[in-house]
Structure 1
Amino acid sequence: MAYFGKEFKLDRQDNYDAFVNAVYAGIADEQYRQALIADKPTYKLVKSGDGYTLYTTKSDKSNHEEHFVPGVEYDEVVGGKNAKYTTTVDGNIFTKALKFPEGTITVKREFNDNELVTTYTCDKWEGTAVRYFKV
């Protein structure tokens, strides 16, 4: 897969502000939501045996590593709230279902050779947000 190990930098986004403000209102405080909106992350996906590692570098240069095996449920803290998530893989599409008591957020990442398209939805929100990343 030609996209493994490449760094994808945020290029543009559609409706992301509305997504964060609508969906994270019950999950995270205003400061956290504004930080999400302002952040222009870089992602890198690496295959590790049976699993994967998604490396994230945020605008403030902080780093995050998310190790996962497809179909296995993990715990995660988002905006101070506990959540459970599972990631499934279908070819070049990685879909993460993040479950909070307030609802489920779905993050679908479609990796291509030189572009990453990330689509955000939530069962408690009727909209869709998309962020586009380029190598």
Structure 2
Amino acid sequence: MAYFGKEFKLDRQENYDGFVNFVYDGVADEQYRQALIADKPTMKLIKSGDGYAWCCTKADKSTHEERFVPGVEYDEVIGGKNAKHTTTVDGNVFTKVTKFPEGNITIKKEFKDNELVITYTCTKWEGTAVRYFKA
């Protein structure tokens, strides 16, 4: 897979502000939400044994790494709420479903040539957000 270890930088986004404002309403203040919307992160996927690691470097150079094994559910606290995550892999598409008591968030990451397209949907939100990253 040619995309392993390759860095993808945010190029453009559609309706991401709507997604962030819906998901973080009542959880994070306006300043935090605006910082998320304005950030231009770099994403990288690393294969490690049976699992993977998503590495995200924000514009301020802070990093976040998320490790997972496909199909294996794991717990995490997000914004003070308990959540369960499961990521599945189908070829070049990685789909993560995050389950909260209030509903689910689905993040689909699809690699295309020199592009990474991330699509965000959420139960109880009628919109769809898309972020486009270039290698």
Q: Read off the aligned partner of 2:11 and give its amino acid letter.
A: D
Q: Read off the aligned partner of 2:57 and give its amino acid letter.
A: T
TM-align CA RMSD: 1.4
- 2:41 is the counterpart of 1:47: no
2:128 aligns with 128
Deviations 1:40-88 (A, max 9, x none): 1110001111110111101111111111000111122323332111100
1:101 aligns with 101
Query: 1:1-135 counterparts in 2 under 5 A?
Result: 1-135=1-135
Where in structure 2 are there 5+ consecutive unaligned residues? none
SS at match of 1:5: coil
- Does the aligned pair in 2 maintain the 1:8–1:43 contact within 8 Å? yes
- Does the aligned pair in 2 maintain the 1:32–1:79 contact within 8 Å? no
Decide which moves more: 79-88 or 119-128.
Answer: 79-88
Structure 1 runs (4+) deviating above 6 angstroms are none
Supply the distance in 1 between the matched residues of 2:98 and 2:31 (Cα, whole angstroms): 21
Q: Read off the aligned partner of 2:7 and give its amino acid letter.
A: E
Supply the distance in 2 between the matched residues of 1:79 and 1:31 (Cα, whole angstroms): 15
SS at match of 2:24: helix
Decide which moves more: 53-62 or 80-89.
Answer: 80-89
TM-score scaled to structure 1, two decimals?
0.93
**Percent of pairs with identical residues:** 81
SS at match of 1:25: coil
Count of residue pairs the alignment pairs up: 135
Deviations 1:10-64 (A, max 9, x none): 0000011011112221443434322221221110001111110111101111111
Where in structure 1 are there 5+ consecutive unaligned residues? none
Q: 1:102: how far off?
A: 2.1
Q: Read off the aligned partner of 1:25 and give its amino acid letter.
A: D
SS at match of 2:132: strand
Supply the distance in 1 between the matched residues of 2:59 and 2:77 (Cα, whole angstroms): 20
SS at match of 1:72: coil
- Does the aligned pair in 2 maintain the 1:26–1:102 contact within 8 Å? no
